[in-house]
């Protein structure tokens, strides 16, 4: 049965949490617990990526530079969706968020309204991915898993079934980026499940995001020549040294990727004028 997508009909597993929005000077933050910042926005530059881990997640572009469709699990304050909507002008973006309370904050965080390229779906992402074959535009190039609430990452977003469903939703050469907390006692087990679902084609960038540990998994399909997949070649290169080998260099790499992505559409607009 397809998941419920009506914003007026909240999923049964909706998060029992209170979203706290604070504005101090030029900064607006979203927290589920005081002091635990989930998302941060500069009022003077609402499309900028402020948090280190959000910049690091944009390293998916090293694997898939020109995605046709990005699926995001978790809206939060919308930092990544705003950045991608602005800097991937030819890409469709679907965001799956379980909390109606969080979705209701989209205007405060200046998340653009749904349009031909952007759609925010009110649903449990585990249910949504389980039924991906029955949903429109189900085949995607990039999946960004960043689903947290006041208690951490829901168990359903780290299950064997969830990772298998994510793999099935990806095109050959597509990449999944999973955000774990480095101090999560279940992190090793979660990483093992992800690696099993993707046949070991998983890598990370050492120290790229502080207390956030990001894993990048690439889908390879039977019958597809793996040597023809740029994302798999990148995964193998990253795996050798965990990116550039050092946390500082990898954090600089993430900043460079973000700057490159912001430069691309701006350059294209200049060339058209």
The CATH label, of 3.40.605.10, 3.90.45.10, 3.40.50.150, 3.30.70.260, for the domain at 49-272 is 3.40.50.150
Q: How many helices (H) and strands (E) does the chain have?
A: 9, 10
> Between residues 3 and 255, which one has the greater pLDDT?
255
Domains of the chain: which residue ranges? 49-272
Q: What's the pLDDT band for 108 if we cut at 50, 70, 90?
A: very high
Catalytic residue among 124, 127, 141, 146: 146
Strands (E), the chain: 20-24, 27-33, 36-42, 69-73, 92-97, 118-122, 140-145, 170-181, 202-203, 212-218
Q: Given pLDDT bands bounded at 50, 70 and 90, which one contains residue 151?
A: low
- Look over the chain and give the mean of its residue pLDDT values, rounded to a whole number: 88
At 29, is the pLDDT very low, low, confident or very high (cuts 50, 70, 90)? very high
- Is residue 50 helix, strand or coil? coil
Look at 38-42, 122-126, 202-206, 224-228 and tell me which has the smallest mean pLDDT: 224-228
Q: Is the pLDDT of residue 273 over 50?
A: no
Task: Please tell me the predicted confidence (pLDDT) of residue 37.
Answer: 86
Residue 267 has pLDDT above 90, yes or no: no
Residue 120 is predicted with a pLDDT of 97
Q: What pLDDT, on the 0 to 100 scale, is given for residue 262?
A: 94
Per-residue pLDDT reduced to its tens digit, 195-234:
999 999 999 999 999 889 999 999 998 777 777 799 999 9
What distance in Å separates the CA atoms of residue 261 and residue 264, rounded to the nearest whole number? Answer: 5
Sorting pLDDT into bands at 50, 70 and 90, what band is 154? confident
- The Cα–Cα gap between 271 and 78 comes to 29
Does the annotation mark 165 as catalytic? no
Up-side HSE of residue 213: CA atoms within 13 Å toward CB?
A: 15
């Amino acid at each position: 049965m397809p998941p419920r997508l009506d914003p007026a009909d909240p999923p049964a597993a909706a998060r029992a949490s209170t979203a706290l929005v604070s504005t101090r000077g030029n900064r607006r933050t979203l927290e589920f617990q005081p002091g635990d910042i989930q998302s941060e926005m500069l009022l003077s530059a609402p499309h900028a990526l402020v948090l280190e881990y959000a910049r690091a997640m944009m390293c998916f572009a090293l694997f898939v530079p020109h995605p046709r469709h990005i699926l995001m699990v978790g809206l939060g304050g919308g930092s990544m969706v705003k950045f991608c909507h602005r800097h991937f002008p030819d890409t469709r973006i679907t965001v799956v968020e379980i909390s109606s309370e969080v979705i209701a904050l989209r205007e405060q965080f200046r998340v653009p309204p749904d349009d031909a390229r952007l759609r925010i779906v009110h649903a449990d992402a585990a249910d949504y991915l389980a039924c991906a074959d029955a949903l429109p535009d189900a085949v995607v190039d990039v999946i960004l898993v960043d689903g947290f609430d006041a208690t951490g990452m829901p168990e359903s977003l780290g299950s064997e079934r969830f990772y298998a469903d994510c793999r099935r939703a990806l095109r050959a050469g597509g990449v999944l980026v999973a955000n774990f907390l480095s101090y999560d006692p279940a992190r090793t087990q979660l990483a093992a499940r992800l690696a099993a679902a993707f046949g070991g084609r998983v890598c990370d960038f050492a120290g790229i995001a502080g207390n956030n540990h990001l894993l990048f998994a690439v889908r390879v399909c039977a019958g597809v020549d793996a040597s023809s997949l740029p994302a798999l070649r990148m995964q193998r290169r990253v795996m050798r040294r965990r990116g550039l080998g050092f946390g500082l260099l990898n954090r600089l790499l993430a900043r460079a990727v973000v700057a490159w992505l912001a430069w691309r559409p701006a350059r294209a607009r200049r060339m058209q004028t």
